[in-house]
Amino acid sequence: METPILDAILLRLRAALERDDLAGAASIIAGLRAPDQANVFADLGDRDQRALLPELTPETSADILEKLDEAEVAELVADLSTQTLIEIVDEMEPDEAADLLGDLAPHQAEAVLAGLDDPDEVRPLLLHPDDSAGGLMTSDYLALRRHMTAADAIRAIREWQPETESIYYLFVVDARGKLCGVVSLRQLVVADPATLIATIMDPDVISVTVGVDQEECARLMSHYDLLALPVVDTDNVLVGVVTIDDVVDVLVEEATEDIQRFGGASPLERSYLDSSVQWVMRKRISWLVLLFVTDSLTGTVLRHFEDELATVVALSFFVPLLIGTGGNSGSQTTSTIIRALAVGDVRLGDGLKALWHETRVGFLLGAAMGVLGLIRALTWGSSIELSVTVGVTLLTIILWANILGSLLPLVATRLRIDPTVVSGPVMSTLVDVTGLYIYFSLARIIMGL
């Protein structure tokens, strides 16, 4: 829905809440599409949210809670009675229900689970981390058998009366529940009703085991254009299905985390304007302090060259420019390499190739910028020795930044550290310290200080 319309609805909703008309507010919410219900609800204050939630139908509450950020949900449901919670969780998709139960206190989760219509649908999902295939999958799927006909399969779907759109791929299992094929609803509908599933199914089905990371699931589904991905245990027994809508959410969420880490902060884990000032600060200060301590080494390097600085004050004029350019060049490299690793353009085995690529790019960029720096220094009236120092430093610093910028993400990935943590600010800080050392060492040699 268009933003201005939602804003108008929000105004009406706030007015209803102000005059304590909870039933009126609930009916305004009930008239919206599920994702818009969540948006409007999220814009309300904490107190209004708590007052309104018990007034909504369990279906609406379930839709809203499925869309809100985890941290907000945990705060909201803390106030609800176990009975209300049971009614809401009964309306949720099994994978979302499992996520919510995972956020409750263990005894409360157990009480809610015991009261559900079908606890066995949710219980197995609780065993897996939220960010694994097991945590992402739903247990709400229909498995077919090879000896069924297309007509049998369609009859089974009619009887099941699924409410989700997760039925577009149907997975075929053998007598022991092992995954042996996939057939799409399109194929079932198009096929002659008497056709055996065994003859139309594709036996070469792509699947993941429960422990596989959600990013890998997203990569597979995006690479193979899949709408659903079957999840199996170590015996190849089908235990769940990951659907495309969950994977789209994963892609958006992971991109947000990557970009926040790129800026040198820990991921916020909740939507921005709902994050308190203290929360945002907490997510940033540790990085800022760490980088501050590292960057303090620049002071140590400068003190080390105090005599040179006192003799030629003009040396200090170029300090921010040189380390800034090195940092920029390093950031360009890390961001390229990290993304190439993430989308699979570069694999770890290609590490040396990427390093060699960046070394050559660094040399060319460094040479070009070195000439530019030399000219800039000369036109500023610096001595020829100082100008040459600036030029050679630019060449060296950019070459070095490109090598460092490709090496660090590769090493981080090898050590199974998220490579985004060595990007952006970390990169500039490292180049600050090492770049200064390069500059003054070259000054000593070239200017004979």
- The residue (of 57 and 222) whose beta carbon lies closer to its own copies is 222
CA–CA separation, 9 and 258 (whole Å):
34
Q: How far is the CB of 14 from its own copies (least distance, A)?
A: 15
Taking the least distance from each CB to its own copies, the nearer of 57 and 335 is 335
**Do the beta carbons of residue 238 and residue 177 sit within 8 Å?**
yes
190 sits near its own copies (criterion: CB under 8 A): yes
Q: How far is the CB of 22 from its own copies (least distance, A)?
A: 26
Q: Contacting its own copies (CB under 8 A), which of 15, 83, 168, 414?
A: 168
Q: Which of residues 249-278 bind its own copies (CB under 8 A)?
A: 249, 251-252, 255-256, 258-260, 262-265, 268, 271-273, 277-278
Stretch that binds its own copies, among 12-20, 119-127, 134-142, 428-436 (CB under 8 A): 428-436
Nearest distance from C-beta of residue 1 to its own copies, angstroms: 8
Residues in Cβ contact with 273 at an 8 Å cutoff, skipping those fewer than 6 apart: none
- Residue 83 or 300: the one with the smaller Cβ distance to its own copies is 300
Under 8 Å between Cβ of 191 and 182: no
Chain Cα centroid distance, residue 344: 16
φ, ψ for residue 229 (rounded to 5)? -130, 120
The secondary structure of residue 143, as a DSSP letter, is E
By CB under 8 A, the count of residues binding its own copies is 113
Residue nearer to its own copies on the CB measure, 85 or 388 = 388
The verdict on 154 binding its own copies (CB under 8 A) reads yes
Taking CB under 8 A as the rule, which mask of x and - marks residues 79-108 in contact with its own copies? ------------------------------
> Is residue 368 close enough to count as binding its own copies by CB under 8 A?
yes
Instruction: Name the minimum Å distance from CB 187 to its own copies.
Output: 10
263: left (phi over 0), alpha (psi -120 to 50) or beta: alpha
Q: What are 310's two structure tokens?
A: 């006192």
Instruction: Give dist(CA 412, CA 267) in Å, integer.
Output: 18
Query: Which residue lies nearer to its own copies by CB, 57 or 164?
Result: 164
Measured distance CA(359)–CA(448) in Å, rounded? 29
Q: List all residues 6 or more positions away from 65 whose beta carbon is below 8 Å from its beta carbon.
A: 73, 76, 77, 88, 92, 96, 100
Q: Is residue 8 involved in binding its own copies (CB under 8 A)?
A: no
Site residues for its own copies, 35-54, by CB under 8 A, read 35
d(CA 14, CA 20): 10
What minimum distance in Å lies between the beta carbon of 20 and its own copies? 26
Instruction: Say how far apart CA 378 and CA 371 lie, in whole Å.
Output: 11
DSSP 8-state assignment for residue 265? S
Per CB under 8 A, contacts with its own copies among 326-365 are 327-329, 331-340, 343, 345-347, 349-350, 353-354, 357, 360-361, 364-365
